[in-house]
Amino acid sequence: MFETRVYRSPESRLGGTDTPREEGQQRAQEFETYKTRSVRIYRLVSAWHLISAIVALFLLTNSIRGYFLVYRLVATEEVRQRMIRHAAALEHQLLQNPLTGGSSVKSLVEADGNAVWIELRGPDGKVLEHAGEVSRRLFSENDEQTHLRNHEPLFTLAATSAGDTVVEVFPIYATLTPANSPGSPTLAQPSRLAVSMLEIAMPLSGVDRSIFWPIRLDLFINCSSALVLLVTVIVSGLGFRFYAYDKGLEEQLEIAREVQSKLLPSLTEKYVGVQLATEYTPARQVGGDFYDVFLVKDDRIALVMGDVAGKGVPAALLMGVIHGAVRSSLWAESAVSHELASQRLNRLLCECASEAGYATMFWCYYDYSTHSLSYVNAGHCPPLLMRKNGGEVEISRLDAGGPVIGILPQARYEQTRLEVCSGDVIVVYSDGLVEAANSRGEEYGEIRLRELLTTATEKSVDDIRRAILTALAAFSGDTELQDDRTFVVVRFR
């Protein structure tokens, strides 16, 4: 009779008939397909992030550019309105008081201290009055006449000592009194109405800045939106890079998990003289616990269990090294061979592994012909041997052997041999079983395990396995698994 519960990948549970080489080639092809697709998706998403970043920068720069453009337009229009009022006031004044070369524009400059210059030119283009800075002619007479005929405004922005300045020419009606010609007798000359040109220059800096709060609010909202978009794109891009990296690691971990699951015994053949039930639950995708069951001779069955320090990929790699060393060694030939193999494996880990690369291990072989069990316990959790003595159940700890492997290069190991009887049960387990904790941090412990096994000796190996799992679930509740949980139940027949 043979019963088992073994952790397997979904593919191995399907029970396919592919050879290991064909399965490996198929897995390699799947990985290459996944890698090609992942690279394509990564490039597309990266391109999209780049486009989004460019759009965000464009929105940011366009918002700033739009603000200054609107600012200049609004400020220019505000300054022009003030200049139009000044031109209207001066025109009204000149219609009432004929211009005789006095200082009509000076009063206007004094009234508005922001004016850079004001210049009044007669119909013939000559400067009649000027106040303020020395001006430079920005418009030709032809430009002025053309805009006068078309009734169009004539203005521009110019750089002056006051900064950006609006310069505009206004046609105004003025009453002119011509001056007497030299040598002519002084006679009263009649006044006439003529179109003169008034040029006013005022800086944009003189505008009341309170009128710009609405567009400044728009600038703040637009810039904030663009910056949020840009930061989001950058964070998303960095997050996607980490996501892609994690997905690659996840795929590699999945491959490592499958490789590790294939190292576990398939247990598809029946072994004479024993019944087994197993449980293997890694705390992560790959674990540091391992066990193996295999024939070393026609009449000897080897059982190995180990627990590598740490968890994850480093522990799984070291586990693979130990697994290969155990499988390739002729350690079950004799007690001396077993002890020497333990010493060689210990030195191998001391030389090759890091300071934290050590492991505990229990390895034994059962000789059906002599009904004996020979074992070496290298610092592993002592397996529990249960046997009935009359009406009572005796539980022994198999703890003889030596220290953990991988720490002391000169460590010595000793094999122990004991007789087993039909019906005897051994539970070989890792520390993840007895160190399982509940929500209060209390560990399950060996005492609870011994109490449970005392009442389950007569059960089948699979019932014992289920009883252990049920007791652990009731004790731990919803507490997350912190360490690999591995155990093997063996009954001798």
> Residue 302's pLDDT is what?
92
Whole-Å CA distances, 11 to 18, 240, 258, 267, 279: 11, 29, 9, 17, 19
Q: How far apart are CA 467 and CA 96, in angstroms?
A: 117
How far, in whole angstroms, is CA 447 from its chain's centroid? 45
Three-state secondary-structure class, residue 41? helix
Q: How far apart are CA 324 and CA 294, in angstroms?
A: 13
> Residue 356's pLDDT is what?
61
> Residue 92's pLDDT is what?
82
> Residue 103's pLDDT is what?
56
> Residue 87's pLDDT is what?
87
**Structure tokens of 342?**
């333990």
Beta-carbon count within 10 A of 439 CB: 9
> Residue 318's pLDDT is what?
80
Q: Could you give the angle at which helices 312-328 and 213-263 cross, rounded to 10 degrees?
A: 10
| Helix or strand holding residue 118 (H, E) | strand 117-121
- In the block, which residue shows the tokens 């412990």? 445
> Residue 12's pLDDT is what?
37
Which residue stretches of the chain have pLDDT < 70? Answer: 1-28, 30-31, 34-35, 98-104, 109-112, 176-193, 248-249, 251-263, 266-269, 284-287, 298, 310-312, 353-356
> Residue 286's pLDDT is what?
64
| Helix or strand holding residue 301 (H, E) | strand 300-308
Whole-Å CA distances, 136 to 142, 159, 205, 391: 16, 11, 20, 124
Task: Give the ranges where 97-194 is alpha helix by DSSP (H).
Answer: 104-111, 141-150
DSSP secondary structure letters along 368-391: TTTTEEEEEEEBPPPPEEEEEETT
Taking the CA atoms of 385, 387, 389 and 393 in sequence, report the sign of the dihedral they define. positive
> Residue 437's pLDDT is what?
86
Per CATH, domain 264-492 is 1.10.3720.10: no
Q: Phi first, then psi: what are they for 487, rounded to 5°?
A: -155, 155
